[in-house]
Structure 1
Amino acid sequence: MKDISRNDACWCGSGKKYKHCHYNTDMQLKKYEQDGYRIPDRELIKPSDAIKGIEESAVITTGILDELNEMLVAGITTSAIDKFVYDYTTTRGGKPATLGFNGYQYSCCTSINDVICHGIPDQTVLKDGDIINVDISTEYKGYFSDASRMYAIGEVDKKAKDIMDITHDCLMIGIESVIPYEATNVIGEAIEHYANSKGYSVVRDFGGHGIGYAFHEKPFINHFATPIKGMIMVPGMVFTIEPMINEGSNRTKILKDGWTAKTIDGGLSAQWEHTILVTEEGARILT
């Protein structure tokens, strides 16, 4: 962090003097850095106008997921879901953040049953008993948000319902573990402990990520326990928590399309995701 005078304007753009704004926070972070923790770059700590922009993007993301509650029934194709997402987003002045991202040509991801994530919308027809994750990412006026939900198609069996519910519990447990000036690795510790206690495994090949000015920013959020000290969470940071939970092995395989990730053993997988803001009190869900 570049040193500035206590009487200079704060680097965050608030207009306040540094000593009345982020000075105490920066002094605290320097101590963490000396102890070997990763410290967020200043651009990862979002000012109020950026947070407002992310919230406006999140209104679109959340609106899509709400509408899908009624739309997702047996007989619909995943390509029809994709078209709906594109139309809903663009008519509100936004853009699906996945569209064109690293060559991806779709407006959402649709991951069914044993697909862990990044399922490509196509002519697949949803049928009774399926479970599906729909992952929505929105760019609106230069700000990004990201969230996903699980949906049950018709009547699903107990094991499908259980993994959906347990995975949602994992998401909320991860969010509840967000405490300012703790390291991000507490999130994964809490999620994996709970998932394992219920007999499930946590996918390790994917994780959450910072978001706001870009689709993917630092930090990377592991959803499993790791001895590596994570980045210190500071009020104003925005990132996703999005655990992917498997009923069997946590190993994955990527299909020839280069995107679709499936369970190695054909077991069910589920995922829930929110974009969250770190506050002085903990985490605030934006999506």
Structure 2
Amino acid sequence: MIQYKTKEEIERIRKAGRIVAACHREIARRLRPGVTTLEIDRFAEAYLSGNGAKPAQKGYKGYPFATCASVNEVVCHGFPRNIPLREGEIVTIDMVAELDGWMADSAWTYPVGRVNPDMARLLEATKFALFQGIAQATSGKRLGDIGAAVQAVAERENYGIVEAFIGHGIGRRMHEDPQVHHTGKAGTGRKLREGMVITVEPIFVTGKPHISVDADGWTARTFDGSWGAQFEHTIAVTGDGPVVLTG
């Protein structure tokens, strides 16, 4: 069942989202060759705590960290590790902040130092697809419009979409209805209504979009070793159009 939010509840999610966005900006300043994702995880946990929030991912179904840190061919849910990042790699940092019982979720893929043109293009295309999807999240449109917009970018740029991981509703719980797919047909699916709060979070890969999950039960990586990027915002569907709550 979809939990429609009031304007006051959306504002509470926005407050959590501002903390997430500010934390991402700080991470962007710290990510460079030689830094480890475990250091970034510890920083993020301290940052959230220092701003009155808590990392909702830590402890969720046994997940042991404050963030997911996914490097190169790991497309999502990667464990932070004590391994220095290298020039030219890419890393996705995904986090959920809970503030006074309300949650906001955002993931961003960062270049480590200078990346090659192919990786730079992957990042730009995935980010562009995120905002194309968000643009469709207006009252009266349908979930399929979001998926179709994201899919159109992937097909035009010749990237695979990892369909195993999707967007979702969010609020008092990390994962609520509805499910938000990143492929679809325009004009199909549940109608979007004012008060919905959802995430849009496409994952594009340079190769085939088939994934396997490591023995830890979390780390998802491509079968063929191709690299992947993910960009995610939490957004509200309002009468005035989509509003990014994690920007």
- When normalised by structure 2's length, the TM-score is 0.96
Is the contact between residue 192 and residue 201 of structure 1 (CA under 8 Å) also seen in structure 2? Answer: no
Aligned length: 246
CA-CA distance at 1:179 after TM superposition:
2.2
Structure 2 residue corresponding to 1:82, chosen from 30, 36, 41: 41
Tell me the distance in 2 between the aligned counterparts of 1:249 and 1:174. 22
Alignment pair present for 1:211 and 2:170: yes
CA-CA distance at 1:226 after TM superposition:
5.3
Tell me the distance in 2 between the aligned counterparts of 1:181 and 1:134. 32
Larger Rg: 1
CA-CA distance at 1:48 after TM superposition:
1.8
Which residue is 2:112 aligned to? 153
CA-CA distance at 1:230 after TM superposition:
2.1
Which residue is 1:253 aligned to? 212
Q: String of CA shifts for 1:42-73, please: whole Å, max 9, x gaps.
A: xx210122111101111110111000111001
Tell me the distance in 2 between the aligned counterparts of 1:172 and 1:226. 17
Classify the secondary structure of the residue corresponding to 1:107. Answer: coil
Which residue is 2:129 aligned to? 170
Which consecutive residues of structure 2, in runs of 5 or more, have no partner in the other structure? Answer: none
CA-CA distance at 1:228 after TM superposition:
10
Which residue is 1:122 aligned to? 81
Is the contact between residue 145 and residue 186 of structure 2 (CA under 8 Å) also seen in structure 1? Answer: no
Identity %: 35
Q: String of CA shifts for 1:242-286, please: whole Å, max 9, x gaps.
A: 000011111111111110111111011000000000011321111
Tell me the distance in 1 between the aligned counterparts of 2:73 and 2:143. 28
User: What is the letter of the counterpart of residue 197 of structure 2?
Assistant: V
Structure 1 residue corresponding to 2:195, chosen from 205, 227, 236: 236
Classify the secondary structure of the residue corresponding to 2:23. Answer: helix
Q: String of CA shifts for 1:77-131, please: whole Å, max 9, x gaps.
A: 1110110011001111111010000110100011111111001012121010111
Classify the secondary structure of the residue corresponding to 1:191. Answer: helix
CA-CA distance at 1:133 after TM superposition:
0.7
Q: Where does 1:3-22 land on structure 2 (aligned, <5 Å)?
A: none
Classify the secondary structure of the residue corresponding to 1:240. Answer: strand
Classify the secondary structure of the residue corresponding to 1:189. Answer: helix
Which residue is 2:55 aligned to? 96
Alignment pair present for 1:274 and 2:233: yes
Is the contact between residue 148 and residue 186 of structure 2 (CA under 8 Å) also seen in structure 1? Answer: no
Alignment pair present for 1:58 and 2:17: yes
Which residue is 2:183 aligned to? 224
Is the contact between residue 145 and residue 187 of structure 2 (CA under 8 Å) also seen in structure 1? Answer: no
Alignment pair present for 1:192 and 2:123: no
Classify the secondary structure of the residue corresponding to 1:51. Answer: helix
- When normalised by structure 1's length, the TM-score is 0.83
Tell me the distance in 2 between the aligned counterparts of 1:99 and 1:251. 27
Structure 1 residue corresponding to 2:30, chosen from 68, 71, 86: 71
Which residue is 1:35 aligned to? none
